[in-house]
Amino acid sequence: MKRLVLSVAMLSFAPTNINAQITKVDDVKKSLETTNRDTIAWAHGGVFNIGMNEGFLHNWSAGGELASVTINGIFSGHLDRLHYRLIWSNNLDINYGLTYAYSTSFIPHKTDDRIDFTSKYGIRIDSSKRFYFTGLFNLKTQFTKGYDYTLADFRAKPTSDLFAPAYFTTALGVEFRKGSDVSVFFSPLAGRLTVADRKYTILTAQGAFGIPYGKTQYYQFGAYFSGRDQFNLGKKTIYKMRLDIYSNYLAKDSKDDTGKVIKTDNPANISLLFDNLISWKITKSLNITFGATFIYDNNFPYLKTYKDSKTQQIVDKDDPGRNLGWLQIKQIFALGLEYKFR
């Protein structure tokens, strides 16, 4: 019954004739994760983790937050459709986290928010079953509004929202694949569009998200590289990594908050995303997840001083990462329940 329900669910996503063969045999599914085969089949897998941290203090001599709760969820999955020489692959990464603290009247503060979807369609072009001519689509955005929590009235001044920004990338190129675990894609013809509501691009004189002041979109055209890998560090530990690099042929000079010209018209000034996720299984349903994401983008200079919508000068003296410069860093750690599916 379980396999029947799963087969019906997968058929609802199939873009081809419903009479197509759906291979669900376990050994075939396992081999599709690491090899490419001439077959008609679905290959899918992923991990979902939800964790919570809680703390409470009463008359505690060392001091601290009286009560706090942090909840975060992580989903990373893939769904691939093989049809002999054709392959349609989809990857979805979702992160969301909130923290509630007594000192902030338990008003939720967002600690993580990410939607990252990639879909690729390719046709095999060599006899080794490794190289494909591939078209790629990628979307990056978030679920809910973002705020600068250092402001007293932060809820009246959101800095981002769903599809504000949203990053759309389309590309044509060549992909090296080894099952669902390894993918290396390169395109010399890649367009990238960033969109956002105008109310977010007028908050600072520099605009926002790379979009100029008062505008609603920013277009780039350049070269794109994306590499993914997943492998076992041990019997109970999985490491997933992703590296995205983008070079904009249309880049122009810009200025930082001090008025200094930033040379961005050199294609060597790349945008980079380096994603890492380690999942260590303690028991069948309990695991530890550690993630770290590093981003570098010339369109996001680190502003030591900036102006809000009322042109009030704000100096960010308390940022513990201020010496890291333009590098964007996000780190997560979760102990919680995990569900893994293949």
238 Cβ contact partners less than 8 Å away, ≥ 6 residues apart: 47, 230, 231, 232, 278, 279
Of 302, 293, 300, give the one whose Cα is nearest residue 325: 302
Average pLDDT score over residue span 274-282: 92
Q: Work out the percent of the chain whose per-residue pLDDT is above 70.
A: 78
Peptide bond into 165 cis (omega under 30): yes
The per-residue pLDDT for range 214-243, each reduced to its tens digit, is 999 999 999 999 999 998 898 889 999 999
Q: Work out the percent of the chain whose per-residue pLDDT is above 90.
A: 48
- The pLDDT score that the predictor gives to residue 8 is 36
Please give the Cα distance from 95 to 71 (Å, whole number).
Answer: 11
CATH of the domain spanning 27-341: 2.40.230
Domain ranges of the chain: 27-341
Confidence of residue 302 (pLDDT cuts 50, 70, 90): low
- The pLDDT score that the predictor gives to residue 1 is 41
Question: Is the torsion defined by CA of 200, 201, 204, 208 positive or negative?
Answer: positive
Please give the Cα distance from 139 to 189 (Å, whole number).
Answer: 17
Average pLDDT, the chain: 82
- Burial degree of 315 (CB within 10 A; 0-12, 13-18, 19+): exposed
Confidence of residue 79 (pLDDT cuts 50, 70, 90): very high
Average pLDDT score over residue span 48-53: 85
- The pLDDT score that the predictor gives to residue 277 is 92
Token pair recorded at residue 338:
């995990």
Average pLDDT score over residue span 46-51: 86
- The pLDDT score that the predictor gives to residue 40 is 87
The per-residue pLDDT for range 314-335, each reduced to its tens digit, is 545 556 666 676 788 898 888 8
Distances (CA, A) of 65 to 53, 62, 103: 13, 10, 7
Q: Cα 248 to chain center, whole Å? A: 20
Residue with tokens 């679920």: 143
Confidence of residue 9 (pLDDT cuts 50, 70, 90): very low
* Size (the chain), residues: 342
pLDDT exceeds 90 at position 165: yes
Token pair recorded at residue 222:
């350049």
Average pLDDT score over residue span 173-178: 96
- The pLDDT score that the predictor gives to residue 258 is 58
